[in-house]
């Protein structure tokens, strides 16, 4: 096998400004950045500006953005209707400790779209939405622990992290995603300690693995029988249908967590549930405490209103059509260049695995070396994707852009194949 490092050298030659910025940033910020997902070796890019489907780095290199901030920017960068709404709001003030109308509107949009929820509370991230769902479940059950899927992701919190890394923790029991029996077993053993069962409707960080409605319904039934609450995480998957993935699956969770696209590119999270469950926050009869200086700030709310309103069923279907076109093109190229390739795909979300079938999650993947090389090769060719192979289309994509992506991906795969085949 030819183990040359031409791709790495090409990346370093193309991005000296990003290298310099990383060296400077890493002195004052561990890893140069405030999120693990924004790091890759040898150093991540520094992005200077972004518009529509393209981002430009500090060296002036342009990339088609196929990641869209890990799916959050469903309408791409600097989307005109969102920047207009935010610009208008900026002049009217950015936050105050009282109600703002945009919050009411966004809550109305979410409760209109999602059948299982009557009310929502907003937070500043999907992680905080998970924390709030846990607060609600703890208040209702008087219990503390959670049960989640091995390799699931619900945010950056100790209770969730251990499951993400595949290990049980002091507050966390694990089931196997897709295997309702394993969840039932844990509930039978530890049900009296478990406040909530958290499940993603499509496993995102583990590589776009969809749940079936049978799996979700069986786990929810066992969860409720054990006296715990079922939390469906739709932080990533709300982009898949106007009423979220639960609409497609005809599934009604007790609690739903949201994030990403509902903030239109600004920090956001939300929890939705029935009026009965949300009653604990009734200020005249408080049973659980929830507050936050920037919760539901009007900037996020006006941006979120546009983002959600303009995510129509037609646009969702169009993104899926283009994602399938892209997926088929990638599979054809992989065959031509002699690379094994599996693509997990749901709607506008894709995850690439350079193996004959999807095998392993996170750091246990069999294709870590090849996918790292492909990631850097994509960057060299002007395609911005996640190091782990996640891609998420936005509504500003069209056939021509998909064609351009395929041309770039072809060169990236050829370069990757020349290093590993
Ligand atoms: C399924 C899921 N839940 C929760 C989160 C956490 O959201 P945030 O990064 O806004 O804290 C994420 C983020 O990627 C996610 O994908």
Please determine, for residue 288, whether its predicted confidence score (pLDDT) is greater than 80: yes
Q: For the domain bounded by 80-309, which CATH number is listed? A: 3.40.640.10
Among 210, 236, 346, which residue has the most ligand 1 atoms within 8 Å of its CB, making it the best to mutate? 236
**Residue 164, ligand 1, Cβ within 6 A:** no
Residue 260 buriedness (CB in 10 A; 0-12 / 13-18 / 19+): buried
Q: Is the CATH code 3.90.1150.10 the one for domain 6-74+312-420? A: yes
Cα–Cα separations (whole angstroms), residue 40 to 31, 74, 388: 9, 23, 10
Residue of the nearest CA to atom 16 in ligand 1?
A: 236
pLDDT attached to residue 359: 61
User: Ligand 1: distance of its center to the CA of 250 in Å?
Assistant: 23
User: Ligand 1: distance of its center to the CA of 154 in Å?
Assistant: 6
Please determine, for residue 2, whether its predicted confidence score (pLDDT) is greater than 80: no
Residue of the nearest CA to atom 4 in ligand 1?
A: 154
Please determine, for residue 358, whether its predicted confidence score (pLDDT) is greater than 90: no
**Residue 390, ligand 1, Cβ within 6 A:** no
Cα separation, 345 vs 143, in Å, equals 37
Sequence ranges of the domains in the chain: 6-74+312-420, 80-309
8 Å CB contact between 340 and 417 = no
8 Å CB contact between 367 and 387 = no
HSE, CB side, 13 Å, CA atoms: give it for residue 14. 23
Q: Which 3 state secondary structure label does DSSP give 370?
A: helix
Please determine, for residue 56, whether its predicted confidence score (pLDDT) is greater than 80: yes
User: Ligand 1: distance of its center to the CA of 264 in Å?
Assistant: 15
Please determine, for residue 157, whether its predicted confidence score (pLDDT) is greater than 60: yes
**Residue 154, ligand 1, Cβ within 6 A:** yes
Q: Tell me the pLDDT of the chain averaged across its residues.
A: 96
The pair of structure tokens assigned to 125 is 């991230």
HSE, CB side, 13 Å, CA atoms: give it for residue 347. 25
**Residue 254, ligand 1, Cβ within 6 A:** no
Cα separation, 172 vs 383, in Å, equals 38
Residue of the nearest CA to atom 7 in ligand 1?
A: 126
The pair of structure tokens assigned to 182 is 């394993």
Provide the whole-model pTM.
0.97
Residue of the nearest CA to atom 8 in ligand 1?
A: 126
Judged by phi (left if over 0) then psi (alpha if -120 to 50, else beta), residue 98 lies in: beta
Cα separation, 349 vs 363, in Å, equals 21
pLDDT attached to residue 357: 83
Of 350-359, 385-394, 405-414, the least confident: 350-359
């Amino acid at each position: 096998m030819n183990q040359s490092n031409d791709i790495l050298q090409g990346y370093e030659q193309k991005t000296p400004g990003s290298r310099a910025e990383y060296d400077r940033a890493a002195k004052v910020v561990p890893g140069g950045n405030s999120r693990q997902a924004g790091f890759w070796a040898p150093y991540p890019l520094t992005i200077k500006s972004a518009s529509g489907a393209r981002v430009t780095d500090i060296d002036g290199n342009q990339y088609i953005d196929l990641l869209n901030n890990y799916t959050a920017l469903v309408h791409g960068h600097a989307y005109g209707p969102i920047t207009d709404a935010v610009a208008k709001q900026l002049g009217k003030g950015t936050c105050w400790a009282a109600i703002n109308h945009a919050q009411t509107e966004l809550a109305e949009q979410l409760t209109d779209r999602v059948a299982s929820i009557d009310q929502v509370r907003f937070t500043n991230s999907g992680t905080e939405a998970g924390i709030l769902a846990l607060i609600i479940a703890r208040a209702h059950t008087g219990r503390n622990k959670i049960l989640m899927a091995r390799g699931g992701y619900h945010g950056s919190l100790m209770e969730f992290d251990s499951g993400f890394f595949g290990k049980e923790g002091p507050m966390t029991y694990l089931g196997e995603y897709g295997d309702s029996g394993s969840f039932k077993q844990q509930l039978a053993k530890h049900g009296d300690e478990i406040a909530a069962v958290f499940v993603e409707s499509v496993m995102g960080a583990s590589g776009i693995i969809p749940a079936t409605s049978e799996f979700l319904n069986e786990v929810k039934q066992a969860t409720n029988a054990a006296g715990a609450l079922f939390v469906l995480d739709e932080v990533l998957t709300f982009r898949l249908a106007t009423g979220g993935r639960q609409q497609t699956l005809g599934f009604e969770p007790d609690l739903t967590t949201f994030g990403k696209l509902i903030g239109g590119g600004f920090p956001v999270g939300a929890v939705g549930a029935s009026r009965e469950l949300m009653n604990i926050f009734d200020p005249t009869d408080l049973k659980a405490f929830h507050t936050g200086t920037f919760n539901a700030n009007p900037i996020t709310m006006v941006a979120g209103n546009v983002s959600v309103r303009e995510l129509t069923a037609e646009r969702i279907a169009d993104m899926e059509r283009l994602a399938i076109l892209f997926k088929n093109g990638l599979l054809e190229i992989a065959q031509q260049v002699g690379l094994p390739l599996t693509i997990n795909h749901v709607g506008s979300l894709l995850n690439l695995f350079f193996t004959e079938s999807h095998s392993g999650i996170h750091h246990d993947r069999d294709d870590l070396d090849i996918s790292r090389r492909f990631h850097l090769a994509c960057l060299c060719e002007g395609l911005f994707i996640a190091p782990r192979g996640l891609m998420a289309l936005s509504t500003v994509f069209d056939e021509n852009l998909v064609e351009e992506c395929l041309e770039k991906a072809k060169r990236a795969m050829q370069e990757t194949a020349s290093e590993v085949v």
